Amino acid sequence: MRSWASSLLWDEEHEEIKETGFSHRQITRLYSRFTSLDKGENGTLSREDFQRIPQLAINPLGDRISNAFFSEGEDQVNFYMNGPEPLNSRGNKMHFAFRLYVLDKDDKTSCDELLQVLRMMVRVNISDDIIDRTILEADQDGDSTISFIEFVKVLEKVDVEQKRRIQFLH
């Protein structure tokens, strides 16, 4: 017997859902969680809906994580997010993680941005020396920032498929 969310998805299923890289069971769970967060019952989530997620509310990067779901100038996100590759692909996970470090939306992470985000994450003083070494190690073009390409290169050997997860599903 299918659940309410499962039958709703079954009735509304689009080709894009099949190409997300998630299993039908995972999509059903995500859709169920999505609809439970959709307090306006309009088929979209607002930034306020994201702020109601308890795990994000207590996370020092909760606002950064929430904002990473929204395109520039958008204040709503729907369940059928489209893109050229599956939502749970390595590339999309890397883009999502990188957006957490870019505060001024210039598609690069500066020393100041890296310092601010790391302080949010660990809530302790981080020495400028650590930030300088990180930038020096990752910066391949000598502009004293980390671009997305440089970010990907640094994380080349990291298994983001297993390590970049947000646990807010019940």
The domain limits of the chain are: 4-87, 90-161
- Assess contact for 41 and 63: CB atoms under 8 A: no
Q: Which CATH superfamily is domain 90-161 in?
A: EF-hand (1.10.238.10)
Cβ proximity of 108 and 145 under 8 Å:
yes
pTM to 2 decimals?
0.68
d(CA 20, CA 31): 13
Q: In angstroms, rounded to a whole number, what is the distance separating the alpha carbons of residues 102 and 92?
A: 15
- Return per-residue pLDDT of the chain as tens, 170 residues: 344 444 455 445 545 555 666 777 887 888 888 888 888 888 888 888 888 888 888 888 888 888 888 777 788 888 766 555 656 677 877 888 888 888 887 889 999 998 888 888 887 778 888 888 888 889 999 999 999 999 999 888 766 555 544 443 33
Taking domain 4-87, whether its CATH number is 1.10.10.10 is answered by no
Asked whether the domain spanning 90-161 has the same topology as the one spanning 4-87, the reply is: yes
Is 18:80 a contact under the CB 8 Å cutoff?
A: no
- From the centroid of its chain, how far is CA 157? 20
